[in-house]
Structure 1
Amino acid sequence: MRCRTIQTVAAAGTLALIGGLTSAATAQDVTQLRWATSATGSAGYAVKVDLMTILNREWEGYNITVLPTAGAVASVRGYALEEFDGYYGADVAFAELADDSGRFSGFRDQMKREPVQSFWAYTMEVGLAVRADELDDYDGWADLAGAPVFTGPAPWDVRAQLERAMGAVDVGHEYTEIDLSIAGSSLNEGTIDAFIAYTSGQTSVAPWVNEAMLSADTGILNPSEEERAAIEAAGMEVVTVAADRFDTDIGVDEAHFVPFFYGFHLGPDVPEDDLYEMLTIIKEKAGELREANESFAQVDDDMVGLQHRGVAASGGSVPIHPGLARFLQEHDAWEEEWDDWVYR
């Protein structure tokens, strides 16, 4: 009896050892990804956590840890300095990075590697809110020339995109920075004549913008038809946001906003086949992602089209991951002019 017990214990020990070795081997086969995003509590952080939950379940061979940073730009910088494996980046930031300008002025000399675009998650759309009783006095954005305008906090991508669009029509406004919490009262008091209004996925108004518009009698100042043409000629889109997406009367039937593209990107350390698999998983699980977070509505509605629009908007400012290129090619959404943009 004692001998049988010893044999049983020994067998159990052997199985445990084999199981431990198997687990260790499995763990060694899993690539850990440190994927940076914006600050805890932000929309970007919440979206990344929801994406990570599904990818950690479905994407074999990878385990993702979400790392919050001060913001999207900080995550791009951290990736370029080899602090992270993935990051949260926008096409407007890529344009500044490519030009060594704006928030990335002088940064290229510090870079250890070039950021790469690999997955576009959603758009944000920017425009302008003004005092409602003055809305009829404006013919377009150009009428704000010389006026104090809050286009958003200085480091934010939404501000960079609005300034880019306003620059395309040569508005020549005076940037005035204020605290988000007093945007509405600052408009009422005349400290500013306009402030940035923006949405996500052409559906959800940013919470602080919604509060500002509710605290002041505001309307949306649309760019004129000529200004919209100038914005598009500068390589940007102009889209419409339905008036009923706002919690207050905006004074126009629809808002004409300028979108830019946010994505969660990985570099060439993730092989082409694996990145292609990741994109395929996202496409297949788009409905589940949308249920978890409405920000994935555009992925659910047209995953392929969104990737096409994001690549087009980037204008080759950063290379395209080969896995994304293959994904677009296999879904008949590739442009020949992009061939030179693929990471080699």
Structure 2
Amino acid sequence: MRRLLFTTMGGLAMVLALGIGGIPQAQAQAQELRWATSAVGSAGHRAKVALMAMLNREMPDYSITVLPTPGALATVRGYAVGQFDGYYGADIAFGELAANEGRFRGFRDQVQREPVQSFWAYTMEVGLGVRTADRDRFGGWGDLEDRPVFTGPAPWDVRATLERAMNALDVGHRYVEVDLGLVASSLSGGTIDAFVIYSTGEASPAPWVIEALLSTDVAALNPSADEIARLEAAGLEVVRVDAEAFQADLGVDEVVLAPFFYGFHVGLEVPEDDVYRMLTVIEAHADELARSDAAFRQIRDDMVEIQRRGVAASVDSVRVHPGLARYLREHDAWKEDWDDRIAGS
């Protein structure tokens, strides 16, 4: 009986060790990914939270933590100096980093590891809104010359893209920094005459933009036909987004916006097989992602095409993760001209 008792207790101890201690051991094997994104309330933060929830469920060998930062620029900088494992990178930011100019001027000397592109999530499209009462005073963006304009938080890519477009039209506006929660009152009170409005995936405005549009009367200020032609001549694309996407009466049927590409990227620390698997998992759950956030509508409609377009827009500035290259090759969307731009090759 005594021997049986010891044997039973020993067996019970082993079961408890396996049942209780085994779970933390399995969890400890999951690779942590500290994935930085933009500020809480931004389109990037909202989309990354939805993406993280799905990836954490479908790829249990990774444990992804979303880290909000002041803006996407901070995530790229943070990855380059070893602070983060993943980042929220746009084609315009990669271009500035490669050229050591703009918001990255002088940063090259601090880079400890080079960012690469690994997953393009959507386009983001920027434009301008003005007070509804003032709409008839403006014939296009050029009429904002010398006027106070909030083109977005200083480090954000939406601001850099809108400023690039306005500079192409020689619109010498006065930039005014405004807290996101005070944009509506700043517009109605006259502190600013216009502010950036933007959508993600040609469907989903940022939460703070929707809040501003619902808090005061705003009309979309589309560039004039001549300005659109000048933007296109400067190599800048324009798109037309249904005004209903902004959930407010903007006084137009379509809002004319300037797009750029955004992605949630990881570096070579994540192996080729895992990035390839991540892309296939995202593709398989694109419907789910689009239901949780309309920003993912583009990957739902054509995951391969948005990856191809993102690579095409930024391949001269930033190398391609071999997992993304493999994914595009298997879908006949890779160009041989890009072979020498595969990271690590």
Q: TM-score, normalised by structure 1?
A: 0.88
Q: Write the letter of the residue equivalent to 2:86.
A: G
> CA separation in 2, counterparts of 1:24 and 1:72?
33
1:200 aligned residue = 200
Q: Which region of structure 1 is more displaced relative to structure 2, 74-83 or 326-335? A: 326-335
1:119 equivalent in alignment to 2:114: no
Equivalent residue, structure 1, for 2:278: 278
- My pick for the range that moved more, 143-152 or 279-288, is 143-152
Count of aligned pairs between the two proteins:
344
- Give distance in 2, aligned partners of 1:216 and 1:57: 40
Map residues 170-249 of structure 1 onto 2, 5 A cutoff: 170-249=170-249
- Do 1:125 and 1:200's aligned partners in 2 also have CA atoms closer than 8 Å? yes
What is the match of residue 289 of structure 2? 289
Distance 1:91 1:214, change over 3 A: same
**Letter of the 2:175 counterpart:** Y
User: Where do residues 43-82 of structure 1 align in structure 2 (5 Å cutoff)?
Assistant: 43-59=43-59, 61-82=61-82
Instruction: Return the offset for 1:126.
Output: 0.7
Distance in 2, matches of 1:337 and 1:230, equals 30
Equivalent residue, structure 2, for 1:101: 101
Task: Measure the CA separation in 1 of the matches of 2:179 and 2:317.
Answer: 32
- Specify the alignment match of 1:303 in structure 2: 303
Task: Provide structure 2 residue ranges, at least 5 long, that are not aligned to the other structure.
Answer: none
Considering only aligned residues, what root-mean-square deviation do their CA atoms show, in Å? 2.7
Moved more, 242-251 or 135-144: 135-144
> Residue 116 of structure 1 contacts residue 343 of structure 1 at CA under 8 Å; is this kept in 2?
yes
Q: Secondary structure at the match of 1:35?
A: strand
Judged with a 3 Å threshold, the aligned counterparts in structure 2 of structure 1 residues 328 and 4 are, in CA distance, closer, same or farther, namely: same
Task: Find the residue that maps to 2:288 and give its secondary structure.
Answer: helix
Match of 2:267 in 1: 267
Counterpart amino acid of 1:208? W
Alignment partner of 2:297: what SS? Answer: helix
**Unpaired segments ≥5 residues, structure 1:** none
Structure 1 position 127, deviation (Å): 0.3
Letter in 1 for 2:49: V
**Deviation sequence 1:237-284 (CA, Å, 0-9, x none):** 211111222343323221111122222111011111111011000100
Letter in 2 for 1:318: V
Using structure 2 for the length normalisation, give the TM-score.
0.88
Partner Cα distance (2:46, 2:244) in 1: 25
Deviating more after overlay: 209-218 vs 141-150: 209-218
After alignment, is 76-85 or 231-240 more displaced?
A: 231-240
Residue 42 of structure 1: how far off its partner (Å): 4.2
Find the aligned partners of 2:222 and 2:40 in 1 and give their Cα distance.
Answer: 33
- What CA distance in whole angstroms lies between the structure 1 residues aligned with 2:25 and 2:195? 56
8 Å CA contact 2:41, 2:206 repeated in 1: no
Work out whether residues 235 and 313 of structure 1, in 8 Å CA contact, stay in contact via their aligned partners in 2.
no
Tell me how far 1:82 sits from its aligned partner: 0.9
1:54 Cα deviation after fit: 2.0
Compared CA separation, residues 337 and 237, structure 1 to 2 (3 A): farther
What residue is the counterpart of 2:84 in the other structure? 84
* 313 and 225 in structure 1: CA distance in 2 versus 1, 3 angstrom threshold: farther
Residues 236, 313 of structure 1: 8 Å contact kept: no
Distance in 2 (CA, whole Å) between partners of 1:327 and 1:296 is 19
Q: Following the alignment from structure 1 to structure 2, what is the Cα–Cα distance between the partners of residues 300 and 87?
A: 22
SS at match of 1:66: strand
Deviation at 1:342, TM superposition (A): 1.8
